[in-house]
Amino acid sequence: MAEQLRLDSYLDFAAGRSPQMVAVSQTVHAIAAAGRQISRILARGPLAGNLGTIVGESIDGDGQKALDAMTHTIVREALSRAPVSVFASEEADEPEVLDAHAPLAVAIDPLDGSSNIDTLAPVGTIFSILPGGSRVADDPKAPFLQPGRTQLAAGFLIYGPQTALVLTLGAGTRIFTLDPDSGAFIATRGEIQVPRTTREYAINGSNLRHWDPEIRTYIMELKKGHNGPRGEDFNTRWLASMVGDAFRIMVRGGIYLYPADQRKGYRAGRLRLVYEANPIAMIMEQAGAAATDGRDAILDLVPTEIHQRCPLVFGSADEVLRVADAYSHGEASNSPLFKTRSLYRKTTSTIDELA
């Protein structure tokens, strides 16, 4: 059997590239250790306490559950031992300065998919590692208001039947599976290459009536299957856990969409740019996939607030391009999505066609 690639060796090798990568490697080590701890709590589930109980409200109005708060504390503890100047979390209103002189900034969603806590569906921890900058003491938000292209590394842990770490250090994307016996994260596949094409899509279809016409029409064309303009059948998968959907897309392709919609609080989508969309976009791009808000590449957006939301579409590159194309051409387009035989000419009545 070929020798196993362990996360430790992978990080040691990367650390040889520059002093900055030494700090990145130490920080990924710290996050992986936090992930091990969270994975043990999740494996015990209700035996570890009432993890799904609402204990507060996060800044954007989502109920904060006991496990959201617990995972925030675990990650914070881990990062306070890493070379991290400032830490932004979904579960904290403001970024927290840990060591103003340290070289890195970290943005984290400590628990993604938290509506799944009690359902045994996967949840995860998403992270983005950025240069810390020199102004952290005066302006702790500054490192997070850079476009996602400046990320030095990004990844997520997923806690499912296995715990895995999906990681990019800016040179490809790898998946490491946690061996619960030894505590080691071990690479279980080669470098990830997401298939360019797919016939599988993930979206919360209950929001159809609230979507932009571009998204509504795109999805309706998929639903028409081989009788529709796409000429082939598509399958739906929606876990209500972005890490779960992203993991599936990493291993077999697919597209995930959480578009903007007309509901109050969703006009800029649901996902948060700094600690959800940016890291996922970097992971995807490094695996040959793509991520857009419908108009621009996610990694080119310049955040203006730490908790800002953005529409998010990511996955198999050809399919993401189709969505971007739909937005850029509108109804006048000649793109396949808008041809006369497509549903696109009748965006208002097509909801009825689906019923």
Residues that bind Mg ion (CB under 5 A): 90, 109, 111-112
Tokens 């590449």, residue? 297
Amino acid at 275: Y
**Rounded least distance, CB 266 to ligand FBP, Å:** 8
Q: Which is nearer to ligand FBP, 158 or 167 (CB)?
A: 158
Taking the least distance from each CB to Mg ion, the nearer of 110 and 229 is 110
Per CB under 6 A, contacts with ligand FBP among 267-306 are 270
Q: Which does 36 bind (CB under 5 to 8 A by kind): Mg ion, ligand FBP, none?
A: none
Among 26, 115, 193, 308, the residue binding ligand FBP under the rule CB under 6 A is 115
Give Cα 125 distance to the centre of its chain. 9
- Find the binding residues for ligand FBP in span 45-64 (CB under 6 A): 62
Where does this chain touch ligand FBP (CB under 6 A) — which range of 108-116, 167-175, 327-335, 345-353?
Answer: 108-116
The reply to whether 308 sits near ligand FBP by the rule CB under 6 A is no
The DSSP H or E segment spanning 185 is: strand 185-187
Residue 258 bridge partners (DSSP): 312
Nearest to 114 by CA among 77, 175, 67: 67
Residue 164 binds what, of Mg ion, ligand FBP, none (CB under 5 to 8 Å, by partner type)?
A: none
Smallest distance, ligand FBP to C-beta of residue 69, A: 13
Closer residue to ligand FBP (CB): 85 or 292: 292
Number of residues that bind ligand FBP (CB under 6 A): 12
Contact 77, 35 (CB under 8 A): no
* CA–CA dist 343, 232 (Å, integer): 15
Which of Mg ion, ligand FBP, none does 91 bind, CB closer than 5 to 8 A by kind? none
Q: How far is the CB of 99 from Mg ion (least distance, A)?
A: 25
**Closest distance between ligand FBP and the C-beta of residue 309, in Å?**
10
Closest CB to ligand FBP belongs to which residue?
Answer: 242
Going by C-beta distance under 8 Å and a sequence separation of 6 or more, which residues neighbour residue 109?
89, 90, 125, 126, 127, 272, 275, 276
State the Cα–Cα distance between residues 275 and 102, nearest whole angstrom.
Answer: 20
69 near ligand FBP, rule: CB under 6 A: no
Sheet holding 123-131, edge to edge: 96-97, 84-89, 104-112, 123-131, 153-159, 163-168, 173-178, 185-187
| Contact call for residues 307 and 89 (beta carbons, < 8 A) | no
Contact positions toward ligand FBP, by CB under 6 A?
62, 90, 109, 112-115, 204, 240-242, 270
